[in-house]
Amino acid sequence: MIRPATPDDIPRLIQFIFELAEYERLSHSVMLDADRLREHLFGPRPCIEALIAEADGAAVGFALFFTNYSTFQCLPGLYLEDLFVRPSYRGRGLGRALLLAVAALAVERGCGRMEWAVLDWNEPAIGFYQSLGARPLDDWTKYRLSDEALIQAAALSQH
């Protein structure tokens, strides 16, 4: 079963995010704050949404996403930030159900596209995405400003 996350799911989401980071070999990057996550999901101005996958009476996975925008299409889109199912529940179609639920929301909301990133070594995920008809955007390179570089870039705007 797939359902929207509720405020009571915050501890589960935090645990899932830590498990996902461990799987992606990025545990060192996690700087979770429960209050901030709660504010971003359920505060007066939510900027993210989450779905929970349940099986055997327990939450076993999640999808976290947010709205973005395509100026070329002149349409909103959804960006899937995280998709995770606990290893012991993989192979049951829960990851597929989560991804398809986000896709259904995108269509329902009139979005022109849904996008996400995958680590280049994650062959199982790549195969899964391609089996659904997703295609890699090999002609685009993703860039990121974060931490001190973001602060320095912001400071340059003051000059």
136, pLDDT greater than 80: yes
Q: pLDDT by residue (tens digit) across 110-120? A: 999 999 999 88
Question: Which structural domains are found in the chain, ordered by start?
Answer: 2-156 (3.40.630.30)
28-37: burial string, b at 16+ Cβ within 10 Å, e else: eeeeeeeeeb
Question: Span 79-86, mean pLDDT?
Answer: 96
Alpha helical stretches, state H, 53-146: 94-108, 123-131
Average pLDDT, whole number, for the chain?
A: 94
C-beta neighbour count of 77 within 10 angstroms: 18
Query: Binning pLDDT at 50, 70 and 90, where does residue 34 land?
Result: very high
Pairing of strands 75-85, 113-116: parallel
Burial of 118 (0-12, 13-18, 19+ CB in 10 A): middle
- Residue type (1 letter), 32: L
Percentage of the chain exceeding pLDDT 90:
87
Q: Which two tokens stand for residue 87?
A: 């290893």
Residue-level pLDDT at 40: 98
129 noted as active-site residue: yes
Q: Which of 79, 89, 129, 143 is catalytic?
A: 129
Q: pLDDT by residue (tens digit) across 88-112? A: 999 999 999 999 999 999 999 999 9
Query: pTM, whole model, 2 decimals?
Result: 0.91
Residue-level pLDDT at 144: 87
Positions of E strands within the chain: 2-4, 49-55, 58-70, 75-85, 113-116
Which residue is listed with tokens 């993703």? 142
Q: Which two tokens stand for residue 134?
A: 């997703």
Whether 111 and 76 have beta carbons less than 8 Å apart is answered as yes
Residue-level pLDDT at 158: 82
